[in-house]
Structure formats: C-alpha cells, structure tokens
Amino acid sequence: MTLAQLIGYSVLTFAAWKLVRRHASRKANALDVAGPDKQHWWKGNMEWMFVDGFQRCLDVAAEFGGAVRIPVLFGEEWLYVSDPRALHHILVKEQHTFEENDSFLSCNKLIFGDGLISTLGEQHRRQRKMLNPVFSTANMRELLPVIQTISHQLKSILVSNLSSRSEDDHARCRESVEIDVLPWLSRSSLDCICEGVLGYHSAALETGNEDEYTNALRMLGPFIAKTLIVRPIIPIVMRNCSLYWRKKMLDWLTISWLPTQIMRNLRELRQIVEIMDSASRAIFQEKKAALQLQLPSPPLSQAHDTLGGTAGKDMMSIMVRANASSSEADRLSDSELLGQMNVMIFAGLETTTAAVARALYMLAKHPHIQEQLRIEICGAMAAYQVPDPDHSHAKDESASARLSYDVLMNLPLLNAVVRETLRLYPSLPVLTRRTTRSASVPLHFPVRSASGEEIDVIHVAKNQRLVISILAANHNQAVWGEDASEWKPDRWLKSSQGVSPGDKDGVKYPGIYSSMMTFLAGNRSCIGFKFAEMEIKDVLATLLPAIHFALPSEPDDNGNVKEIHWKMTGFHIPVVKAPAGDGETPHLPLSMRLVRE
C-alpha cells in the first residue's frame, strides 16, 4: 500500500467513525418533544421555516405550542421556544447555560472586535455595567435635539420631493406622489446613529450620499448576511490557528482572482471591515484626545465642533469619559471601547430603519388611525412646543416645531402605535442560543412529547441549539388574547383603565419593553432600546403633521399596482411583489401628499 493510499484510507476511516459517533450521540440526545415533519431529506425544515417564513414561524408555535422540535440541516434538531416560563429560564434565570453560539461570537469578534456582541461571561458583564448608564433617560433627553434635527431634514427632503412635482400650492395639497421612502429612512437612521452614538457627522441625508465610512456601515449588515455560509468554520479556525495563519488564510480566501460569488462577497466584507475599523479608530482617537485636553462639553447648540456632531454629548463621548473615571477593575480597554462603536452601529441601524418603515406602512394601511395620530401630535405641538431660541438645529422653516422629550415619549396614541408595531413585527424575529451543559427547560404551557404525552419540562443535552422565537412570543394568543396577531394600537390605550396588554392572569413574558420580547430580556437584552424608541417616535411626530401616507394605488405603465410584501430574511424587509416589482429588492413605495391645512 502506498503512503497516499494509507493517508486516504485513514481519512475515510476517521470521517466514517466521526459520522457514526455523531449519529449515535444525536440518537441518545434526541429532543423528546413534538414538531412538524421533515420537509427535505438534508435541509430539514431550515428553509421552510426561516427563509421568508413569517407565517410558518407563527403556525408551528400555534400548532405545537411554546417548545417545538425542528429538524434542520443534516439530521440536526433545534428546539424552537416561545413559552414564557421557558424564555425566562433561558434568558434570565439560567442565562449562562444558554449562551450565544460559538460561530456568532467568533464572527463578531473578527468583524467588530471586543464589543458587546462578541463577549461572554465576566467580560460581557463588565462591559454592560459600564455601558448601561450611558443609555440612561437623562442622556436620551440630551440627545433628542440631535435626532429632531435629522427628522426635520428627512421631512424637508420628502416635502420638497412632493413640492417639486406640483405646479402650485393648491395642486400640491391634492396630488399624491409615489416615493420609495426606504432609502431616505435608512439614511435618516444612519445619521441618527452616527451623530447620536458616535458623534460623527455623517450627513447622509443632507448630501443624499454617503462617504466611504458611512457607506461601509450601511453595507456591513447585507454583506454579513451574504457570507453566513462560512460562519460555521470560523470558530474552528479561531480555535486551531495562530493569528499568523488566520491572516494568511484570509489573504488566500480573499485573493482577487478567485471568481466565485462567495469569494467576491468575502472580499467586499473584508474591505468594509477595514474601512470601518480605520475610521472608527480615528474617531475614537479624537474622543480620547478631547478628553485628555479636558475640553468642556459646550452647549448642544454649538453642534458639529471639534468633538463631533453632538458636541461631546454622543454615547461614545459619554462612554469614554465614564470609563476614564471608573475604577481600574471596571475599566474597559481601548479595544473594548472601540469594539462598542462598531457594534452599536450594526445593532441599531437596520433594526430601527425596519421599525420606522413598518410603522409608516401600518399607518398608510390604517388611514383612520393615521389621522387620529396626526391630531394628537398637532395638538401637542400647539400646546407644548418648545422654543428653539437660536434655531441652531434649523435646516428648514419649521425647525422650531419640536416637542420636549417628556411630551414626545408620553403621547398616548403615538406610544400605542409604536408599541403595537414593535410587538407584531419585531425587527429581529428569531435568535439562536446553545446550551453550555445539559439542562432542563420548564414550560408554563405544557406541550406534547414525541410520543404524544403531555409534558411541562424538556431535557436538553450539552450543545443543543435553541431558537428564541421573539415573533411567536409576541403573537402568543394565550398571553396577548385571541386578537394577538391583529394590529390594534388601542390595546395599549386600555392600560390606563387597569388592563395590561401581555399580562394574562399574571402570566407574562420577561421582555424589558412592555413585557414583549422585541428587545429581549436579561443580560443580553437590547442596550439601545430607549434610543430606538425615541428615534421612531420622533420621526413619526415630525413627518405626520406635514405628510399624508397611503399605500400605492396608481397602476404603473403596465397597469400593475405595487403590492408590498414584508420578506423575513433575518430582518423584515419590504419588497414589491411581482409583477409590479421583482420581489427581492428592498423598496417601500408609499403614496404621499402634503397634509391639507
């Protein structure tokens, strides 16, 4: 036998042995809980549920309950969870037993460095301790004027788009114009997060364009999604190869003459990460230098000074200052602070864009509620409008029409519309976790075992994958009522009459935001939820008094009316259905006209 044959046989024997072991371990650790039949012999139900599977994700939970066995790739099974007690156990009580996956953490570390979404255990706890106060209500109050300036710019752009197409004022009020709002909402979110979180004046709305850095930030999410296929090998490489070999492998993988699409995507992602990294470093150095010079925080009115767009009131500046004055034991390293910058942008950009887009779409679909909301906002503007003495944030004629933080955050119908939209259409519908040891998951609502018995606890082996279904939890009829899947903002208005939505005889979800799971629960819940809520509310409060939104109704040149479909591909993305659209490209065409005085 030649050496080559010997190596070949050894490799085959090893692979066969691994397969047999894997099969035996899967059998021994099979999930004893009911679930849907397998849809494909090797893909299982992966595509069936998680590629544009909004309705399936709900149907499966409605049919099998709050814990369901889902067959996925190559015979693996995942536990799909939406039961309230199970989610409390997984996310709050036993969080260290149910952690983020290796591949998620390793990829995040490569892309973002040592930010919150790349760390575990004590390091993650230390980072949260430092960062939680940065997102306090007091800091949000300080930031609102920055967000308001951006919302006003967005409004001015949309209004001028409407005006430029009509001859006179009278016609302007009558005529509806169809505009794809998605690119504008995306730029507005980008500006909000760059200015509010980084103190970086991105000016994506102002210029209608993006510089290299902001373009990289916007493209990051889509390119991460396009390269998900290489994710499973990253932890193996990170564990087994030195930094030198990791770099070498990356150089080989992204070599310019490799022609496949996945290689092109990897090359693009590498470039995006390099641009993001060097720009973030420059911004970070500026903030540190400002701190060392002990520059006082000038008033917000002096925007866009040396400290960046928010005059040192941005989250990063606050973070750098808080870190410098904290004890040695709590202090974060420069690489940890830098990691947070990139993470915030990634975590806050597409999530908030999707939420604002969905809220506008729902209001377009429900003109009656849109009108009631407009009346509420205009009434508050008339009663509580805060003067903007120096008009420093003014970029349009109505820049002084601003509400204070407390008024904006407490408008009942605005609150109800935002909550109901975030509940029904969570920007991140499903997340995954993995067990670090064998464990039990208790249930509030019993389910059926694989053999049909009623069970209220499920045993899971070490390394079991779980899917946290935020979507199914937020639609659970046993908790939210029979109309759980209907968009009814007024369910939130009843809370003033002692009815708490999402609390059925004391059974509720552990979510940090009105007991819905949209921003998750526990130590890894969304740190930026107050920022997101403020931004969504401010955009709506600024646009609605000026612009009326409706669904497209005019046929195009081929006689087709645009019908919008929300595709669930990790995020919810609006696309235009065929034949009027391609069903793929993100678009949100809405018919708009100026509000009649």
Binding footprint of ligand HEM on the chain (CB under 6 A): 116-117, 128, 197, 343-344, 347-348, 351-352, 355, 426-428, 431, 518-520, 524, 526-528, 531-532
Burial label, 128 (beta-carbon count in 10 A; 0-12, 13-18, 19+): middle
- Minimum Å distance from CB 171 to ligand HEM? 37
Q: What's the angle, vertex CA 187, arms to CA 195 and CA 517, rounded to 5?
A: 80
What's 568-586 look like in SS3? Answer: EECEEEEEECCCCCCCCCE
CB of residue 123 vs ligand HEM: minimum separation in angstroms? 11
Query: Residue 157: which of 125, 130, 184, 124 has the closest Cα?
Result: 184
CB nearer ligand HEM, residue 156 or residue 476: 476
All residues at 6 or more sequence positions from 261 whose CB lies less than 8 Å from its CB, including other chains: none
Q: Which is nearer to ligand HEM, 218 or 548 (CB)?
A: 218
Q: Give 502-549 as a 3 state SS string.
A: CCECCECCCCCECCECCCCCCCCCCCCHHHHHHHHHHHHHHHCCCEEE
Residue 305's SS3 state is: strand
Nearest residue relative to ligand HEM (C-beta): 528
**48, 39 Cβ separation under 8 angstroms:** yes
Q: How far is the CB of 128 from ligand HEM (least distance, A)?
A: 6
Angle, alpha carbons 385-488-446 (nearest 5°):
130
Decide whether 205 or 532 has the Cβ nearer to ligand HEM.
532
Asked if residues 354 and 427 have their Cβ atoms less than 8 Å apart, the reply is yes
Least Cβ distance, residue 493 to ligand HEM (angstroms)? 21
Answer whether 549's CB lies under 8 Å from 589's CB.
no
Instruction: Check if the beta carbon of residue 44 is closer than 8 Å to that of residue 465.
Output: no
- Cβ closest to ligand HEM, residue 191 vs residue 546: 191
Smallest separation, CB 158 to ligand HEM (Å)? 21
Q: Which is nearer to ligand HEM, 117 or 540 (CB)?
A: 117
**Lateral strand order in the sheet of 177-180:** 177-180, 589-594, 547-550
CA–CA gap between residue 514 and residue 43 (Å, rounded) = 37
Cα–Cα distance for residue pair 48/30, rounded to 1 Å = 21
Instruction: Provide, rounded to whole angstroms, the least separation between the CB of residue 197 and ligand HEM.
Output: 5
Non-local CB neighbours of 254 within 8 Å, separated by 6+ positions: 263, 266, 267, 270
Smallest distance, ligand HEM to C-beta of residue 373, A: 19
Nearest residue (CB) to ligand HEM, 53 versus 570: 570
- Give min distance, CB of 342 to ligand HEM, in A: 10
């092109």: which residue's tokens?
264
Report d(CA 557, CA 333) in Å as an integer.
58
Q: What end-to-end distance do the CA atoms of the chain give, in Å?
A: 91
**Least Å from the CB of residue 134 to ligand HEM:** 10
Of residues 351 and 415, the one with the C-beta less far from ligand HEM: 351
Q: Residue 347 or 594: which CB sits closer to ligand HEM?
A: 347
How far is residue 596's CA from residue 533's CA, in Å, rounded to a whole number? 28
Cβ proximity to ligand HEM, 99 vs 556, nearer residue: 99
Q: Give the ranges where 29-168 is alpha helix by DSSP (H).
A: 46-50, 54-64, 84-88, 102-112, 121-131, 137-163
- Nearer to ligand HEM (CB atom), residue 190 or residue 364: 190
Smallest separation, CB 436 to ligand HEM (Å): 15
Q: How far apart are CA 236 and CA 259, in angstroms?
A: 25
CA separation for the pair 7, 523 (Å, rounded): 48
Nearest distance from residue 431's CB to ligand HEM, in Å? 5
Question: Cα–Cα distance between 356 and 220 in angstroms, integer?
Answer: 20
Q: Which residues contact 7 (CB under 8 A, 6 or more apart)?
A: none
User: 347 with 217: CB under 8 angstroms?
Assistant: no
Closer to ligand HEM by CB, 45 or 353: give it: 353
CB of 161 vs ligand HEM, minimal distance in Å: 25
Spatial distance between the Cα atoms of 72 and 78, rounded to a whole number of angstroms: 7
Q: Which lies closer to ligand HEM via its Cβ, residue 33 or residue 424?
A: 424
Q: Known binder of ligand: residue 526?
A: yes
- Pick out the residues of the known binding site for heme: 526
- Pick out the residues of the known binding site: 526
